[in-house]
Structure formats: C-alpha cells, structure tokens
Structure 1
Amino acid sequence: MPRDLRGFIKQLEERGQLRRISALVDPDLEIAEIANRMLRRGGPGLLFENVKGSPYPVAVNLMGTVQRVCLAMNMEAPDELEGLGKKLALLYQPRPPKKISQAIELGKVLFDVLKAKPSNDFFPPCHQIVLKDDEIDLTTLPFLRVYPGDADKVVTLGLMITKDPETKVPNVGVYRLQLQSKNTMTVQWLSVRGATRHLRKAAERGEKLDVAIALGVDPLVIMAAATPLPIDLSEWLFAGIYGGTGVHLTQCKTLDLEVPADSEMVFEGTITPGETGVDGPAGDHMGYYGGANQNAPLIRFHCLTHRKHPIYLTTFSGRPPKEDAMMAIALNRIYTPILRQQVPEIIDFFLPMEALSYKAAVISIDKAYPGQARRAALAFWSALPQFTYTKFVIVVDQDINIRDPRSVVWAITSKVDPARDVFILPDNPFDSLDFATEKPGLGSRMGIDATTKVYPETDRVWGEPLRSDPDMASLVDRRWAEYGLADLKLGEVDPNLFGYDMK
C-alpha cells in the first residue's frame, strides 16, 4: 500500500474507520461542526466529497482516535510506540555501548537509519498540475473557518518547510496559517520554533526566507514533524525511521527546498522580513479565541502545484478532545524513552489530554533521596523543547498510577504540604496564547512534590500505606465465581459511582 494520504484513507476505509459524505457541505463552520461531533464520540474519519465553493474534497478527523494515530504510524497498539521511542532515544543522545548487546542494539538502529534515508522522485505526483503567479487563487481551496469569531479561513495540517540560511539544514514544522488574499497567508508560530530562527537569520542577512507548504501528506510524516528533534537532525530521516523506509522527496519548482513527492498540494513562496499582516482572532488549542496578532509574518506565494483531483487534509484546534490531542497521546509514548535517557530517575510520565496535552505533566520516580522530586521536575522542563511551556509538573512515587486521576489526586492531598512541597518559578518564556499569564509570552511554572517524604524533608515518621492482605486477596480471586459474581469483572469500576459525569 502506498505511503501517502490516499493509501491511509484506503486503509481506514477497509477497516470501517472512514465515512464518505456526498451531501453538499459548507467549509464555513459546517464541516467543523460535523467533525467536532464525530471527535467527541470517537467516530470515524470523514471525507466530504461535495464541498461548497470548491471542486476538491476535504478529509478531516482521520487521526481522531489514538488507534488511528497508531495505524498512521504502521502500528496496531499504543504499546508499540515506546519501542519506537527507544530507537529515537539512541539517536537523540547517542552513547558509546558498554556491552555487546548494546552494540548490537545500536547497530540495528543505525541500519534502520540507512533504510530511512529519503529518496528523490523526479516525476512526482505533486507536480501533475503547476500554477504560477496570477494563476494562483487560494480562495478556491476548501479551507475551513471553524468558529464564528474566526477572522478568516485557516490551514492547520500543512507542513512548513524552510532552510537555515547559514547551515542549509531544513526544518519541517506544523503551524497555523490564515488566508489573507488570493496569494498570501499569515503564519502563527512560537518564538522557539525552527522556522522562526530561520526568519531571524534571514533578516540579519537582509534576505527573504523561502517557504514551502506541503498539504495532504502521509500522516506519518506529520507525526515526525511534530516530534521534537535536535536541531541538526532531519524530520525526513525520522519519518523514514517511523515508517521503515525513506520518504520520497522532490525539489520544489521554484525554490531550493524539498517536499514530499506524494503531497496533494504544495505552495511555494517567500517571507520578506518585516512584511506582516493581521492574523486572528482565531480559535486555538487553549479553548479560547487567540487575539489578533498585528505583526504576523506574511507569506507571498508565487507557485502552486498539486496532484490531479487533490484531497485537502485538515483539522482544527480547540478544547480537547481534538485530533491534535490524540496525536499528543501517541507522542507521549514516543517521548518516554527519550525523557528517561535525559532524566534517568523518571519511571514514567503522562501529559493529560484535558490539560491541553502539554500544560500539565505527571511524573513518577523511584525516589531514593531528599529533594529528588524537585530535581526531576526541573530536569523535565529542560529535557525537550515543548516542555518549556508546561505550567504544572506533579511528581509522584512509582506505585501511583499516573494515568488515573483518582490516584494522582489522592497523592497530592495525602502527601503534599503546600508550604513545603510546592515551588514556583516566575518569569519564564511562555505560550503567548495562554491568557492565564499576567504578561503575554511570560509566565510562571509550578512544581508539586507529591512523593512520600523522607528525612530531612520531614521529621515525622510517615504512616504505612493501607494494603489488602495478599493471601486473602489471592483467595478471593480464586473464589470470585463461587460467590456468584462471575459476571462482574474484577477491577472494573464505574466512574459514575464516584461522582464523575462521564456523559
């Protein structure tokens, strides 16, 4: 099966995970309303084949469940993602092997890297149709307006490819774009992202920054672009490691940039440093409208290429659950081995979807000495770039189920004295879309030590935790059917019994 968007759509359809909609739908608010209802119900991916004002179909909610994210990465279950993370950890911060087994493991990963090298396609599908200059009219494309207060239509799953003006190393990122005219868009990004560094360097050199936007790519490539990488490693290489074979790339028609050859559409343009537009307001991942950015970089497009009969792949942001939250859950599993390598005392970590998938983290550690929880929290914030914007880090003991909110809340309430165990770091670089901060782009972080305290963290003797008698627990397990309770599965809990509204 081809590793492109069309191959993934076919795979979903074969598994009953895609619904085609032939009724006429409007990209202005209507498609997003339908898709949002599907997302909340864990429903199938959607392919709208009859879109008002455009000849092109729209695909949305293709990665609206964790299962479908795994399928996009050629895996069947989330547990397999951690194995991929172990490979990436070896590449992220390689160390000389100390044992034969470690050398063999490293050799296998290096062989995977060789297989993952991108290849070139000289007759790419994305160049089947070529439009230049006055032929370009972005207003005919089925971009979505998602919320009634949005300033205009947006692009959300486009890969932005730029290149460092000095080193020529490319960067691939996913940023929100807003339509401005028939051939211009503004981009909304964070100051720490790779493309922003490239624009600053271009400005220092008095040059324009070349920009390519690839739309409708293999979802696996999108996941690779969303993975935090060392600056000198290629997203294309990581996408090849994700998929087991190299990504097919092709040279842009007018730029010295490479894009996925099987893209449905490619926009080629430039950013002139200092040329800006008004971007927003627009609905964002925080669950609010982001304010209008008066100085958003403006991209002028002079070439548009696409496949015959292209499919427009999109998604949208907002309060979870959304597709980006499902992608984040999968990435959470991939990050875990990388994080353990950087911070060895961390047993596991979890970024709850309800906390916007990165605003709060729960970390479990094997506590061995006083102050270790604080050290682990501080190390977490600096381990990977995206953790810079994590507001809350809760550190618990390794016997706490970090994915069970009841267990985490119990740990906080039973093990934390706020004056001793809560620490705040003020004035950190922050997400400017976070309205809770007093100043845009500058906020504080909170660490909570919810571990069992040891001397000299406390002078009190800590109570022994309550546990069932293991022999009696084993006896009850064996006699469960004898009690006439076989139809009630062991360990199954109805959350509604404890005051949780699960509707």
Structure 2
Amino acid sequence: MARDLRGFIQLLEKRGQLRRIKALVDPDLEIAEIAQRLLQCGGPGLVFENVKGSPYPVAVNLLGTIERACWAMNMEQPQELEALGQKLALLQQPKPPKKISQAIDFGKVLFDVLKAKPSRDLLPPCQQVVIQGKDLDLNQIPMIRPYPGDAGKIITLGLVITKDCETGTPNVGVYRLQLQSPTTMTVHWLSVRGGARHLRKAAERGQKLEVAIALGVDPLVILAAATPIPVDLSEWLFAGLYGGGGINLAKCKTVDLEVPADSEFVLEGTITPGEMLPDGPFGDHMGYYGGVEDSPLIRFHCLTHRKNPIYLTTFSGRPPKEEAMMALVLNRIYTPILRQQVSEIVDFFLPMEALSYKAAIISIDKAYPGQARRAALAFWSALPQFTYTKFVIVVDRSINIRDPRQVVWAISSKVDPVRDVFILPETPFDTLDFASEKIGLGGRMGIDATTKIPPETDHAWGDALESDPDVAAMVGRRWAEYGLGDIDLAMVDSNCFGYEIP
C-alpha cells in the first residue's frame, strides 16, 4: 500500500473532485461554513491554501460523497465492499473448508493477511521536522472551530494511538480532541473505547499513559481505525487488508508507540491518570450541542511533521456529513459479518438521515412466525456498534431496504402497532441522545413490517399487486415507440433519494 493523504488528494484532483481555494479563509467558523454548503449538494473536496494564522493548508470534505469514500477504500462501487466484508467474516469465525474451492478461498485470505502486515520505515517522512520544548505551539496547526457555540478549536480526524501497559497491544481510535493550551488538549472518548481501557490499566499501575496523535493520514487508514468489528486483528492489519498491502509504520521520537510513517503531523505526549479538564460543548452528530464533560488531559512535548504539511479535518453535525458517508461505506462491509452472526438476515441498511446508526432496516427471508422479532433482538447483540441503535425495522426480502418509498409502504401496509411493535425499556444508551428521559438509559423499538403468517394472523393476506409480465415486457420493447425514449425508467425507479440501489 503506497498511497498517503497527498496521493488521495491527487486522485481526487485527477478525477475532477477537488477544488483548491486560494482566497484567505478563517479556520474559526468560515472553513466549516464553506464545507457545510458543499456537503449539502455533494460538492467536491477542498484544500484551503491560505489559512489565517497558520502557514499550513487545510483539507476538508475529501470523503463528502459515497463515491469518494469508496475511492478511499481503493474501490469504485459500494457493491465491491461486500467482498471485503466476506473476507473479514471468514477471519472472524473461520470454518473448516468442505470443498477444494473453499480451501483455496481461505488460503487466499490467509495470504492477504500476510501481505497486510505493516512494515517499518527508518527514515519516515512524518519526522522531517521535529519541534520540542519551548518551541512547541499547537496553535500553529490550523484547527477549526465549526459552530459558534463550540468551546474552542478541535481535532477530529486524528488517529489517537495508545498501548496496553500489560500486553503491549496498541489501540488506534478516532476521537475528538479540544485545544486547551499551546501544549495541551483534552480527549473525548467513551469509557468502552480502547484508549479509555488503556488509561484505566495505566492508573491501576500508577503509570502515565503514552499517547500519539497522527494527523493527515491516508483516509483508508482512518476508515480502518473507525471500523469497530470484533476481530482479533490490529487496526494496522485492518488498514493493510483494506488497502491490499501493509502500511509503513514509524517509531515515535519520545514515546514507545508507532504511527503511520506518511502522517502529515504527529503529536507525542502523555496522560497523567486523574488529570482532567472540562471538554465541550461542541456540535455533535445528533445535530445538537453536546454537554460539558471532564475529560483526560494530554500534555504534549513533541511535534513532528512532514515538510510543507497538509492538515486534514472534518466536523460533525446533522447529516449529510463526511462521517455519514464513511458510515454508509462501512455499512456494506458489515453486511456479510452480520449475516454470519444472524443467519436469516438477507441485507441491512443504516440510513444516513437516521445518523447512520440510530435506525436499522433489515430484510429477512421469513420462514416461521416470530422470526422478525428474533432477527431484531439478534441484531442488537450482534456487533458492539449496534448497541445504541434505537429503531430496528424488519421487512421481507422483496423490499428494497435502500428505497424509503418501499420501506414506508411496508410499515404502512403490514404493521398493526398493537401486534407488531415491541419496546425494550431502560437499556444502556448513547449519552449524546437527548431524547432519552435519563441520559445514558433509553428504550429501543422493534417494528415487524414483514408479511404475517399464521398464527401471527388468523385471516388470509391479500395478494400483492403486480403487472402482467407479458404486457410489461411488451411496453418495455415499445417504450421508444411511444415517444418516451428520453425518459430513463431505471433512473426514475432507483436513485430518487440519493442512495445507491443494488
């Protein structure tokens, strides 16, 4: 895997999906406002070359469309992502091959794992410039402030790298960081995340936790770090599997951690257990400002960067946002893994408008009564990232789950709220969800929108309306003859809502 952030920017530029802005712009609110407008209309990625208060350019909105997020994964179409998901599903729960072809497929996957192992770079580009001591000033990095009510400047697409003090196993996560001073930042992570676990272990031993922040990496590595799939593989190996070859890592200057060698910036520091500062409020993915929380304080003592570095950033908020596009791409990768966990699931979809995880639509090949409820309950426990999904809608396999018209029709025509809606009260919940009466505790709803079979119902179900196949075929042949050849029926039927329809 030879690509870095600069290579991805060049790819977007070559394909007409990047604009370079030479006018002077302010990282305080202005950059986010420009990017926000382009995100709303599926506009190009941006590189701001003249940023107030910093000598470094800012890249944003690089993953602002499903198409570009697929390119980040070295793929052209969302459908290709399922092949990668099948590979990861096989690694998660390998089964003894029963056929020669299955043995060959498993051998190919093992070979891909060997190719995906990271390599070491002794002269890494990320250490071309080293800044330590009194010269260190984080204000030189052009961090943005997206919303007027935000508490300060933030880092959003940094890889936060820590290590288990007992096993030495690294964790790579994408967490929000707030600038607190020229040499300190707070990190906002959930207690279940790897970095938080490492900090608790360090505290038990009375040790500081070493931290490295890698900024401006290949977006493929960010997608790998943001993939919470329960496979016993490191994020670096994931990135190698995603990219088809191992990434280059470099040892940090002052902490015992490794970072992508082609990072644009690397921050090195430590967290003293118990040292906290208020973090927030900030605009979050729910579309509201979050609260203020005491969060761990990172004290940085070293900054390294490439010559003429580029700062990569994004911001959260009500969709569409870059994080939503990333989620739609990862949705495709999850699908084969979820099928392996819940065998009756044919397909599933996490709509962007539902914040990419608050509502799930599942299609099943229904074979027995009560199966839809079983599938919904199994979904909630299949993978950790589905813990905070509020609504699960289960439909028949004939429903195109990526077409809101079909899903709403299924709910409207197949659901009796008394019989087909069930609620699980007071379950662990997302602390950013203000709809819950108790923060961190909320309900979940399952909706069975499948066709009912006895004993789910005691009356016959009407036959679905369908065109006469011979007449439909004839009309298709004569379409141009009617003078309607300029109307593409495939486009009318499929992509009205901006989703890719398989």
The TM-score, its normalising length taken from structure 1, stands at 0.96
Task: Work out whether 1:374 is the aligned partner of 2:364.
Answer: no
The within-5 A match list for 1:75-474 is 75-230=75-230, 232-293=232-293, 295-474=294-473
Q: After superposition, what is the alpha-carbon deviation per residue over 1:323-349, rounded to whole angstroms, capped at 9, x for unaligned? A: 111111111111111111111110000
Counterpart CA distance in 2 for 1:170 and 1:406 is 45
8 Å contact kept, 2:403–2:494: no
SS for the counterpart of 2:152 is coil
Taking structure 1 as reference, are residues 171 and 231 closer, same or farther at Cα in structure 2, changes over 3 Å only? farther
Note the alpha carbon deviations across 1:165-188, whole angstroms, 9 max, x for none.
Answer: 222211111011111111111111
Q: Secondary structure at 1:424's aligned position in 2?
A: strand
Say whether the 8 Å CA contact 1:171–1:194 is kept in structure 2. Answer: yes
Alpha-carbon distance in structure 2 between the residues aligned to 1:65 and 1:490: 24
Structure 2, gaps ≥5 residues long: 498-502
1:311 Cα deviation (Å)? 0.5
Percent sequence identity over aligned pairs: 78
- Farther-moved stretch of structure 1 (104-113 vs 418-427): 418-427
- After the TM superposition, which of the residue ranges 430-439 and 311-320 deviates more from structure 2? 430-439
Relative to structure 1, the CA distance from residue 422 to residue 92 in structure 2 (aligned partners, 3 Å threshold; closer, same or farther) is: same
Distance in 1 of aligned mates of 2:488 and 2:65: 26
* 1:488-503 alignment runs, 5 A limit: 488-493=487-492
SS in 2 for 1:196: helix
Q: What secondary structure is seen at the aligned counterpart in 1 of 2:460?
A: coil
Q: Does 1:11 align with 2:11?
A: yes
SS in 2 for 1:361: strand
Q: How far 1:490 sits from its partner (Å)?
A: 2.4
In 1, the alpha carbon distance for the partners of 2:165 and 2:333 equals 31
Q: Within 1, Cα distance between the matches of 2:496 and 2:201?
A: 58
* Partner Cα distance (1:471, 1:495) in 2: 22
Gap change, CA 1:366 and 1:166, over 3 Å in 2 = same
Between the aligned partners of 2:412 and 2:439, the Cα distance in structure 1 is 32
For residues 330 and 306 of structure 2, the distance between their equivalents in structure 1, rounded to whole angstroms, comes to 30
Shift of 1:494: 8.6
Give the deviation of 1:493 after TM superposition: 3.3
Which segment is superposed worse, 129-138 or 24-33?
129-138
Indicate conservation of the 8 Å contact 2:92/2:231, yes or no. no
Give 1:489 deviation, angstroms: 2.2
Read off the aligned partner of 2:400 and give its amino acid letter: N
Partner amino acid, structure 1, of 2:240: G
2 CA distance for matches of 1:497 and 1:105?
38
Aligned: 1:39 with 2:39: yes
Give the aligned partner of residue 62 of structure 1: 62
Q: Distance in 1 between matches of 2:268 and 2:414?
A: 55
Distance 1:225 1:467 in 2: 46
Q: CA deviation at 1:134?
A: 2.3
User: Does the Cα contact within 8 Å between 1:254 and 1:303 map onto a contact in 2?
Assistant: yes
Shift of 1:192: 2.0
Counterpart position of 1:501: none
Could you say if the C-alpha distance between residues 231 and 489 of structure 1 is closer, same or farther in structure 2, counting changes exceeding 3 Å? closer
Contact 1:190 1:431 in 2 (8 A): no
Q: Secondary structure at the match of 1:468?
A: coil
Alpha-carbon distance between aligned partners in 1 of 2:54 and 2:298, rounded to the nearest angstrom: 22
Distance in structure 2 (CA, Å) of the matches to 1:307 and 1:82 = 35
Runs of 4+ in structure 1 over 3 Å off: 491-498
What is the letter of the counterpart of residue 424 of structure 2? L
Q: Structure 1 pair 207/61, CA: closer, same or farther in 2 (3 Å)?
A: same
What letter is aligned with 1:304? L
Secondary structure of 1:493 counterpart: helix
SS at match of 2:385: helix
CA distance in 1 between counterparts of 2:157 and 2:178 reads: 12
Deviation at 1:204, TM superposition (A): 2.1
Distance in 2 separating the partners of 1:280 and 1:394 = 34
